[in-house]
Structure 1
Amino acid sequence: MAAGKLFIGRKVRELREGSKATQAAFAERIGISASYLNQIENNQRPVSASVLLTLAENFKIDIGSISGSDSDRLLSALSEALADPVFDAYSPSLQELKLVTQNAPGFAHALIASHQAYRRNSEQLASFDDHMVRTNAFSDPTPYDEVRDFFHFVDNYIPELDLAAELLANELGIPDRDAGFALSNHLENRHGIRILRAEPHEDVLRRYDGASRALFLNPYSAVSTRTFQMAFQIAALELESEIEAVVRRANFRTQGSVDICKIGLRNYFAGALMLPYQDFLATAEELRHDLELMATRFGASLEQVSHRLSTLQRPGRKGVPVFFARIDRAGNITKRHSAAKLQFARFGAACPLWNAHQAFETPGRIIRQLAETPDGARYLSVATEIAKGSGGFNAPQRRYAITLGCEVGYAKNFVYADSLDLSNRAAFDPIGISCRICERTSCPQRAVPPLKSRLTVDHQRRGILPYQIS
C-alpha cells in the first residue's frame, strides 16, 4: 500500500449501500466505470482526488470525514494487541494491519476483544493465591474497558445526544445566559423539580428524590460541577429513549457495561448542554483554544472544556483533531480520547517523558511540550494539574493531570504554540506510547523492556539499563 494513496473501499461501499444504488448506478452517478468502482470498494485501487471531490459534492459529505484516518485508533489498538508475546510466531507488516482494519474492522474488533479477555484472565490467574481463590477476589466483570472502547471507536461523538443538547441550549439561551440559572429554571418550570442543598454528611455530588421532586446538590462543589449535575439530571429525565437506543446498538456483553454506559451518555449530554457545539467550536477558533478563557466564558472547568474539545467530531463541522487524557499520580489514564494520530496505550501507564506527569510538579500552571513519537509524528501537548474535592481543609483532595494536544500541523490554532520553534526538530522531546510497545532502544526512563524485542546482557558493562535492546 503505497504512501499517500487513499484506500477507502469500505466507506465507499457503505455510502453506496446507504443510497440504495447498484454498483452500475452509483458508478454512473460519480462518473467512473463500474469496474473501477468495484476495484475501489475491494481496496484493489485507491480513490483518486477527482472521485473524492465528486463524492463530497454529490453526497454532501465532509472530505475530512471520508478521507481522514478514521482507522488510526483501530490500527493502534490492533498493533498493541499483536505485540503481546502470545503472538510471537506472527509479526504482521503495517500493510497487513491496514488491510485488516480497512476491510474487516469487525474482525479487528473481535481480535482485540479476545486479546483483552485473554489478558484479563492471565492477570487474574497470575494474581490468585489461596486467599484470593477462597474469596473469589477477581470474579466480577470489568465493564469500564468495554464502555471506554465504545466511546473510543465511535470517535467520542454521539450525534443524537449532541444535537439534542444544542437544541435545548438554544432554547434556554445558553451560553448567553448563565447556564446554572437557566438549567435550574428549566428543571423547575418543566419538571417541577426544586434545587436544594444536600447535607454535608451525605458526601454526594447529586441526589435526586423523585417522590419529593427535589434535586439535592453538594453546596461545596464548584459552580461548574453543580451546573453539570443539573444537566445530567435533565438527560436522565428527557433523553432516556435516545440513550436506550444508543446502548442497544452497542450490544454490550454485561448489564454492568450497560449501566456504566448510560452514565457516560448522560455525562456526554451534560457536557454538550453546558458547551453547545456551534458556539463552543466558534469560541475555540476565536480564542485559539485558550482553555482558561474558554472556561471563563462558559462557566465551565478546565477539564470540562478540554474533554469537550475532544468530542468536536460533527461531520462537516469538525474541530481541530485533538487528544485528551486525564491521568492520576500513579500514571493511570482515567479518561482518554484521541482524534489525532496519537493513540493511548490500552494497558500500562503513560510514557514518563510526557509532560502530563510534570504537571503535578507545577500546580496552577499550564505547561507546554513539543513531543515526537517513535513513528516520527510530532505534537504540541499542554498539561495542567487539577484538584477535585469539597468540604474544606480536612477533606481529601483528588489530584489529576489533564493534557490536551494536537499534531504539530494544527499547532497554529493554539495560543500555546506562540513563541515555540515548531520548525526545530531538536526542540521536540522523544516520547512513546507505553514502555511495553515503545521501539526506542536508549530511553533513560524505560520501565520495562518492549515485549517483542530481543534483549542482550553484557556482564562486563552496565549502562543506564541492565540490558541492551536489539
Structure 2
Amino acid sequence: MAIGKLFIGRKVRDLRQASGITQSQFAERIGISTSYLNQIENNQRPVSAAVLLALADKFRLDIAELSVGENDRLLSALSEALTDPLFATYSPSLQELKLVTQNAPGLAHALIACHQAYRRNSERLASFDATLGRAGGPAEMTPYEEVRDFFHFVDNYIHELDAFAERLAMDLGIGRGDNQAVLTEHLARRFAVRVARGAAGDDAIRRYDPQARVLTVNPYAAASTRDFQLALQIAQLQAASEIDAVAQAAGFRSEEALEICRMGLENYVAGALLLPYGTFLQAAQDLRHDLELLAARFGASIEQVCHRLSTLQRPGLKGVPIFFARIDRAGNITKRHSAAKFQFARFGAACPLWNAHEAFERPGRILRQLAETPDGVRYLCLATHTSKGSGGFRAARPEYALALGCEISYAPAFVYADDLDMENSGAFAPIGISCRICERADCASRAVPPFKRRLHVDHNVRRIVPYGLGV
C-alpha cells in the first residue's frame, strides 16, 4: 500500500511552542532552514524521514502518535456536511478540505456544528411539528449527540482514565481469579459498600443507595453484566475526581451533557478495569482477535470485547485501528467509533450492502465480509447479533447487530481472514457509507439519489433504480 506524504504542521508548531523557542532556533536544532520549517508548520511541505528522526531525537516526538485517525474522522464529517444542497454552488477539492482539517480543525468543527443545527431546523420545518412555535430559537445539538461526538473526536481513548483503571486492575488482581469476588471484596473493604441481590420484580440492572451504602445487582443479569456493574460502582467512587476533570475540560454547553459524559466516562473506566489495556492488547494479539476466545478469557460479553478493541489507541502502544458500531433493527447506530478510514454516516441509514444488517437473520454466528468503499479502500468486516435484557419470558430483550472491522492490510491479524481470498478483487463487495453521499452510479440497492448529482430519467428504459445519475 502506498504511503501518502506526511503533513504534520500543527503537531510541529505545537511542539515548538511548547518548547518556548523561535522558528529559527527550532529549525537550527533539527538541521533545516527557517523557511523550510515555516512551510512545514503551514502544511505547505511534508516532513521528510530525516526531519522526523530529528524531531524524535531532539524533541522526543513520538512517531507512533502521528495517526491520521483524527484527520480522517474530521475530513469525513466535513465532506458529508458539504454535500448538502445548501452548498450546491461550492464543491471543494480534497486538497482544500485537507488544508482546513489539518490547519484549522476548530473551524471545521464549527462548520459541522452549524450544519447539524441547520439540518435539525430543516427537519422541524419539514414536519410542521406543532412544537415549532414553542421552539424559541435555532435547533441545537442534543446533549447526547454532543457527548457522542466528544468520544468520537478523542479517538475513543482517554489516557488518564485508562491508565488509572489499569493500575487499579493490577493492584486488585483482576483476571487472576473470580472477578466478582475481587470487586465485591474491594467495595466492602475500601468503601464499606455491601453488594446484595436485587429485589424480586425490580427490573433495574443496578441500584445504589448511598445512604445505606448498599449496591443491589440484578441476579438474572449475565455474569459479565454483573461484573461490569460492580466495576462501574468502583469507578463512581474511586475515580470521581479524575472523571470530573475530563468532563469539565470538554467544555460542554449544558449540565445535561456534562452528566451524560460523566456516565460515559464511568462506563469507560469500568470497561478498562475489567479489560486492562496491556493485558487485553496482548491477548488480542495472541488470540488473533478471536472475539469468542477473548470473551471467554476475560469473562466478558462479545460487545464488551468489541467496544474495548475500539479503544486500543494508546500512543506508542496502539492496537489494530478498527471501526466498531452497534446498530438496532431500525438501522439506528447507537454506538459508533472508527480509528480506520471507514466512517459512519451522521445522517441517514447505513449502506444496505453492509453485512451488519444480516446479523439479525443469523444469530449466534460471526459473519465475514470483504468490502470496498467508493474511495477504493478495502476492509475486512465482521458482524454478529446480540440481545440485551434478562428476567424471564416477558422481559424486554432489545436486539442489536455488532459491526467490527479493519482495513485489509491489517486483516492477517484476525483469525477470521485466514481462508478469505483477499487477493481477488472480485471477492470485495462494493459498499458505501450511506446513499446520500455514495457516488456509485450502478448500485441496485440505492435508496435515495446522492446529493449534488443530477438525475437522468429515460422513459423508455426501466431498471431497478428508476433513474440514472448525471455529472
Q: Normalising by structure 1, what TM-score?
A: 0.96
Q: Is 2:117–2:140's contact at 8 Å kept on the other side of the alignment?
A: no
Alignment of 1:123-272 (within 5 A): 123-130=123-130, 132-133=131-132, 142-272=142-272
Q: 2-side partners of 1:14 and 1:176: how far apart?
A: 42
**Cα distance, 1:133 vs structure 2:** 4.8
Q: 2-side partners of 1:201 and 1:26: how far apart?
A: 67
Alignment of 1:401-440 (within 5 A): 401-440=401-440
CA deviations 1:125-176 (Å, max 9, x no partner) are 222344x458879989621111111001101010110000001000001122
Q: 1-side partners of 2:59 and 2:386: how far apart?
A: 44
Q: 2-side partners of 1:465 and 1:191: how far apart?
A: 63
Structure 2 counterpart SS, 1:73: helix
Alignment of 1:46-445 (within 5 A): 46-66=46-66, 68-130=68-130, 132-133=131-132, 142-445=142-445
Of the structure 1 ranges 242-251 and 276-285, higher mean CA displacement relative to structure 2 is found in: 242-251
Of the structure 1 ranges 195-204 and 446-455, higher mean CA displacement relative to structure 2 is found in: 195-204
Of the structure 1 ranges 246-255 and 63-72, higher mean CA displacement relative to structure 2 is found in: 63-72
**Cα distance, 1:211 vs structure 2:** 0.7
Structure 2 counterpart SS, 1:288: coil
Q: Is 2:69–2:339's contact at 8 Å kept on the other side of the alignment?
A: no
Q: Does 1:11 align with 2:11?
A: yes
CA deviations 1:434-463 (Å, max 9, x no partner) are 011011111111111111111111122111
Structure 2 counterpart SS, 1:70: helix
**Cα distance, 1:67 vs structure 2:** 5.2
Structure 2 unaligned regions, length at least 5: none
Q: Percent identity?
A: 67
Q: 1-side partners of 2:26 and 2:350: how far apart?
A: 46
**Cα distance, 1:24 vs structure 2:** 2.4
CA deviations 1:228-271 (Å, max 9, x no partner) are 11111111112121122112221111222111111111111111
**Cα distance, 1:61 vs structure 2:** 3.9
Q: 2-side partners of 1:139 and 1:72: how far apart?
A: 27
Q: 2-side partners of 1:390 and 1:285: how far apart?
A: 33
Distance 1:347-1:140 versus aligned 2 partners, 3 A rule: closer
Structure 1 counterpart SS, 2:436: coil
CA deviations 1:5-47 (Å, max 9, x no partner) are 2211011111222222322222222222222111110112110
Structure 2 counterpart SS, 1:201: coil
Q: 2-side partners of 1:235 and 1:169: how far apart?
A: 12
**Cα distance, 1:330 vs structure 2:** 1.0
**Cα distance, 1:205 vs structure 2:** 1.0
CA deviations 1:408-435 (Å, max 9, x no partner) are 0000000000100111111000000001
Q: Is 2:325–2:334's contact at 8 Å kept on the other side of the alignment?
A: yes
Q: What residue is the counterpart of 1:457 in the other structure?
A: 457
**Cα distance, 1:389 vs structure 2:** 1.2
Structure 2 counterpart SS, 1:304: helix
Q: Is 1:6–1:67's contact at 8 Å kept on the other side of the alignment?
A: no
Q: Is 2:120–2:140's contact at 8 Å kept on the other side of the alignment?
A: no
Structure 1 unaligned regions, length at least 5: none
**Cα distance, 1:347 vs structure 2:** 1.0
Distance 1:220-1:69 versus aligned 2 partners, 3 A rule: closer
Structure 1 counterpart SS, 2:216: strand
Distance 1:57-1:424 versus aligned 2 partners, 3 A rule: farther
Q: What residue is the counterpart of 1:34 in the other structure?
A: 34
Q: Is 2:124–2:132's contact at 8 Å kept on the other side of the alignment?
A: no
Q: 1-side partners of 2:454 and 2:289: how far apart?
A: 43
Q: Is 1:61–1:315's contact at 8 Å kept on the other side of the alignment?
A: no
| Count of equivalent residues | 468
For 2:88, the aligned partner's letter is D
Q: Is 2:295–2:301's contact at 8 Å kept on the other side of the alignment?
A: yes
For 1:91, the aligned partner's letter is S
Q: Is 2:187–2:234's contact at 8 Å kept on the other side of the alignment?
A: yes
Q: 1-side partners of 2:246 and 2:219: how far apart?
A: 33
Q: 2-side partners of 1:317 and 1:19: how far apart?
A: 25
Q: 2-side partners of 1:96 and 1:133: how far apart?
A: 37
For 2:315, the aligned partner's letter is P
For 2:279, the aligned partner's letter is D
CA deviations 1:355-391 (Å, max 9, x no partner) are 1001111100001000000000000011100011101
Q: Is 1:436–1:451's contact at 8 Å kept on the other side of the alignment?
A: yes
Structure 1 counterpart SS, 2:435: coil
Q: Normalising by structure 2, what TM-score?
A: 0.96
Q: Is 1:61–1:316's contact at 8 Å kept on the other side of the alignment?
A: no
